[in-house]
Protein backbone atom coordinates (compact mmCIF):
# COMPACT_ATOMS: atom_id res chain seq x y z
CA UNK A 1 0.00 0.00 0.00
CA UNK A 2 1.29 3.43 -0.98
CA UNK A 3 0.42 6.40 1.20
CA UNK A 4 0.55 9.82 -0.47
CA UNK A 5 1.00 12.75 1.88
CA UNK A 6 -0.10 16.10 0.46
CA UNK A 7 1.80 19.12 1.73
CA UNK A 8 1.30 22.81 1.21
CA UNK A 9 4.25 23.97 -0.86
CA UNK A 10 3.11 27.57 -1.14
CA UNK A 11 5.74 29.97 0.27
CA UNK A 12 4.98 31.81 3.46
CA UNK A 13 4.05 35.44 2.67
CA UNK A 14 6.60 38.07 3.68
CA UNK A 15 3.98 40.82 3.89
CA UNK A 16 0.23 40.79 4.42
CA UNK A 17 -1.75 43.98 3.92
CA UNK A 18 -4.00 44.28 7.02
CA UNK A 19 -6.66 46.20 5.06
CA UNK A 20 -6.94 44.03 1.95
CA UNK A 21 -5.31 40.76 3.12
CA UNK A 22 -3.21 40.89 -0.04
CA UNK A 23 -0.03 38.84 0.41
CA UNK A 24 3.40 39.44 -1.09
CA UNK A 25 6.29 37.01 -1.35
CA UNK A 26 9.83 38.24 -2.03
CA UNK A 27 12.59 36.20 -3.66
CA UNK A 28 15.76 35.31 -1.75
CA UNK A 29 17.71 37.80 -3.88
CA UNK A 30 15.25 40.62 -3.16
CA UNK A 31 15.39 39.84 0.56
CA UNK A 32 19.19 39.89 0.48
CA UNK A 33 19.27 43.30 -1.19
CA UNK A 34 16.73 44.62 1.32
CA UNK A 35 18.55 43.38 4.40
CA UNK A 36 22.03 44.02 2.96
CA UNK A 37 21.62 46.96 0.55
CA UNK A 38 24.62 47.65 -1.67
CA UNK A 39 26.02 51.17 -2.06
CA UNK A 40 23.60 52.62 0.49
CA UNK A 41 24.74 55.61 2.56
CA UNK A 42 23.29 57.09 5.72
CA UNK A 43 24.98 60.50 5.75
CA UNK A 44 24.81 62.67 2.66
CA UNK A 45 28.16 63.36 0.98
CA UNK A 46 29.77 66.78 1.12
CA UNK A 47 29.05 69.20 -1.71
CA UNK A 48 31.27 68.45 -4.70
CA UNK A 49 32.12 64.92 -3.62
CA UNK A 50 30.12 63.52 -6.57
CA UNK A 51 29.61 64.67 -10.13
CA UNK A 52 25.83 64.84 -9.93
CA UNK A 53 22.79 64.31 -7.71
CA UNK A 54 19.31 63.10 -8.60
CA UNK A 55 16.24 63.09 -6.39
CA UNK A 56 12.67 62.01 -7.01
CA UNK A 57 9.60 61.39 -4.88
CA UNK A 58 6.66 59.14 -5.69
CA UNK A 59 3.22 60.35 -4.56
CA UNK A 60 1.94 56.88 -5.45
CA UNK A 61 3.65 55.13 -2.55
CA UNK A 62 5.30 57.90 -0.54
CA UNK A 63 8.84 56.84 -1.43
CA UNK A 64 11.61 59.39 -1.86
CA UNK A 65 14.83 58.50 -3.66
CA UNK A 66 18.14 60.37 -3.80
CA UNK A 67 21.26 59.19 -5.62
CA UNK A 68 24.81 60.43 -6.21
CA UNK A 69 27.01 59.39 -9.13
CA UNK A 70 30.67 59.67 -10.14
CA UNK A 71 31.44 59.46 -13.84
CA UNK A 72 34.69 58.85 -15.68
CA UNK A 73 34.89 61.95 -17.86
CA UNK A 74 36.78 60.20 -20.66
CA UNK A 75 34.80 56.98 -20.96
CA UNK A 76 31.50 58.19 -19.44
CA UNK A 77 31.43 55.02 -17.38
CA UNK A 78 29.76 55.24 -13.99
CA UNK A 79 32.49 54.74 -11.42
CA UNK A 80 30.30 54.97 -8.34
CA UNK A 81 26.67 55.31 -7.32
CA UNK A 82 25.49 55.94 -3.79
CA UNK A 83 21.91 56.30 -2.66
CA UNK A 84 19.49 56.72 0.22
CA UNK A 85 15.74 56.41 0.36
CA UNK A 86 12.71 56.71 2.57
CA UNK A 87 10.81 53.83 1.08
CA UNK A 88 9.50 50.30 1.17
CA UNK A 89 11.36 47.00 0.94
CA UNK A 90 10.83 46.82 -2.82
CA UNK A 91 12.27 50.31 -3.38
CA UNK A 92 15.33 49.47 -1.26
CA UNK A 93 15.95 46.11 -2.95
CA UNK A 94 15.41 47.53 -6.45
CA UNK A 95 17.72 50.50 -5.90
CA UNK A 96 20.39 48.28 -4.37
CA UNK A 97 20.27 46.02 -7.42
CA UNK A 98 20.21 49.00 -9.77
CA UNK A 99 23.37 50.38 -8.16
CA UNK A 100 25.09 47.03 -8.71
CA UNK A 101 23.98 46.92 -12.33
CA UNK A 102 25.39 50.40 -12.95
CA UNK A 103 28.81 49.81 -11.41
CA UNK A 104 29.61 46.12 -11.99
CA UNK A 105 32.29 45.01 -14.46
CA UNK A 106 33.97 48.39 -14.61
CA UNK A 107 30.74 50.37 -14.75
CA UNK A 108 28.22 50.95 -17.50
CA UNK A 109 28.36 53.97 -19.75
CA UNK A 110 25.65 56.55 -19.24
CA UNK A 111 23.96 55.53 -22.50
CA UNK A 112 23.99 51.87 -21.43
CA UNK A 113 22.61 52.75 -18.00
CA UNK A 114 19.74 54.70 -19.53
CA UNK A 115 18.63 51.55 -21.34
CA UNK A 116 18.09 49.61 -18.09
CA UNK A 117 14.36 49.03 -17.61
CA UNK A 118 12.17 48.17 -14.65
CA UNK A 119 11.87 44.67 -16.11
CA UNK A 120 15.67 44.33 -16.13
CA UNK A 121 15.91 45.22 -12.44
CA UNK A 122 12.99 42.98 -11.53
CA UNK A 123 14.52 40.07 -13.45
CA UNK A 124 17.84 40.44 -11.60
CA UNK A 125 15.89 40.38 -8.32
CA UNK A 126 14.18 37.17 -9.43
CA UNK A 127 10.87 39.00 -9.41
CA UNK A 128 8.94 41.54 -7.34
CA UNK A 129 5.28 41.55 -6.28
CA UNK A 130 3.25 42.97 -9.17
CA UNK A 131 1.90 45.81 -7.05
CA UNK A 132 5.47 46.82 -6.25
CA UNK A 133 6.91 46.99 -9.76
CA UNK A 134 6.60 50.78 -9.66
CA UNK A 135 9.20 50.87 -6.89
CA UNK A 136 11.86 49.69 -9.32
CA UNK A 137 11.18 52.80 -11.41
CA UNK A 138 12.16 55.21 -8.62
CA UNK A 139 15.89 54.59 -8.98
CA UNK A 140 15.68 54.99 -12.75
CA UNK A 141 13.86 58.31 -12.44
CA UNK A 142 16.36 59.61 -9.90
CA UNK A 143 19.22 58.44 -12.11
CA UNK A 144 17.78 60.27 -15.11
CA UNK A 145 17.76 63.46 -13.07
CA UNK A 146 21.34 62.82 -11.98
CA UNK A 147 22.33 62.29 -15.59
CA UNK A 148 21.61 65.93 -16.16
CA UNK A 149 25.21 66.04 -15.14
CA UNK A 150 25.37 66.79 -18.86
CA UNK A 151 24.36 70.33 -17.97
CA UNK A 152 27.56 70.67 -15.93
CA UNK A 153 29.69 69.45 -18.82
CA UNK A 154 28.17 71.65 -21.52
CA UNK A 155 26.42 68.77 -23.33
CA UNK A 156 23.07 70.52 -23.44
CA UNK A 157 21.80 68.47 -26.39
CA UNK A 158 21.95 65.36 -24.16
CA UNK A 159 19.94 66.78 -21.26
CA UNK A 160 16.84 64.69 -20.55
CA UNK A 161 13.69 66.77 -20.42
CA UNK A 162 11.16 65.42 -17.93
CA UNK A 163 8.07 67.04 -19.41
CA UNK A 164 4.40 66.17 -19.23
CA UNK A 165 1.71 66.40 -21.87
CA UNK A 166 -1.86 67.32 -20.94
CA UNK A 167 -4.12 64.54 -22.21
CA UNK A 168 -7.44 65.60 -20.64
CA UNK A 169 -7.69 69.43 -20.74
CA UNK A 170 -10.85 69.55 -18.64
CA UNK A 171 -9.36 67.67 -15.68
CA UNK A 172 -5.77 68.72 -16.49
CA UNK A 173 -4.60 65.08 -16.48
CA UNK A 174 -1.22 64.39 -18.04
CA UNK A 175 0.53 61.42 -19.57
CA UNK A 176 2.53 61.15 -16.31
CA UNK A 177 -0.71 60.74 -14.34
CA UNK A 178 -1.65 57.83 -16.59
CA UNK A 179 1.84 56.36 -16.19
CA UNK A 180 1.58 56.51 -12.40
CA UNK A 181 -1.87 54.88 -12.52
CA UNK A 182 -0.47 51.97 -14.55
CA UNK A 183 2.41 51.58 -12.10
CA UNK A 184 -0.12 51.44 -9.27
CA UNK A 185 -1.93 48.53 -10.93
CA UNK A 186 -4.43 50.00 -13.40
CA UNK A 187 -4.93 47.49 -16.20
CA UNK A 188 -7.73 48.77 -18.42
CA UNK A 189 -9.68 51.89 -19.41
CA UNK A 190 -12.49 51.17 -16.95
CA UNK A 191 -10.06 51.00 -14.04
CA UNK A 192 -8.29 54.14 -15.27
CA UNK A 193 -11.53 56.11 -15.44
CA UNK A 194 -12.56 54.95 -11.98
CA UNK A 195 -9.26 56.21 -10.67
CA UNK A 196 -8.76 59.44 -12.61
CA UNK A 197 -12.10 60.15 -14.37
CA UNK A 198 -9.90 60.76 -17.41
CA UNK A 199 -11.72 61.09 -20.74
CA UNK A 200 -15.21 61.13 -19.24
CA UNK A 201 -15.60 64.84 -19.99
CA UNK A 202 -13.25 64.75 -22.96
CA UNK A 203 -14.29 61.75 -25.09
CA UNK A 204 -12.18 63.03 -27.98
CA UNK A 205 -9.11 62.18 -25.88
CA UNK A 206 -10.04 58.50 -25.47
CA UNK A 207 -7.98 57.13 -28.40
CA UNK A 208 -4.80 58.76 -27.05
CA UNK A 209 -5.66 57.66 -23.50
CA UNK A 210 -6.04 54.04 -24.60
CA UNK A 211 -2.82 54.24 -26.60
CA UNK A 212 -0.92 55.53 -23.56
CA UNK A 213 -2.48 52.83 -21.39
CA UNK A 214 -1.22 50.12 -23.76
CA UNK A 215 2.19 51.79 -24.04
CA UNK A 216 2.81 51.94 -20.29
CA UNK A 217 1.46 48.42 -19.75
CA UNK A 218 3.94 47.13 -22.33
CA UNK A 219 6.79 49.28 -21.00
CA UNK A 220 6.54 48.15 -17.38
CA UNK A 221 4.87 44.74 -17.52
CA UNK A 222 5.77 43.39 -20.96
Cβ-contact 56, 26 below 8 angstroms = no
The one catalytic residue in 30, 53, 56, 61 is 61
Alpha-carbon distances, residue 55 vs 13, 83, 127, 178 (angstroms):
32, 10, 25, 21
The one catalytic residue in 81, 121, 125, 135 is 135
Distance, in Å, from the CA atom of 64 to the CA atom of 145, rounded to the nearest integer, reads: 13
Burial of 141 (0-12, 13-18, 19+ CB in 10 A): middle
| Residue 88 annotated as catalytic | no
Task: Show which residues are catalytic.
Answer: 61, 135
Amino acid sequence: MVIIILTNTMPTPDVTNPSTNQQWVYSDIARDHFFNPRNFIVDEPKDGAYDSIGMVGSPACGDIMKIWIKVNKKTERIKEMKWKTFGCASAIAATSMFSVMLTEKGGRTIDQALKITAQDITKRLDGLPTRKIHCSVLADKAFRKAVNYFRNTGQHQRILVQGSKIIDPILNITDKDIEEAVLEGTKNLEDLQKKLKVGIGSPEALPEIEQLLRFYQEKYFG
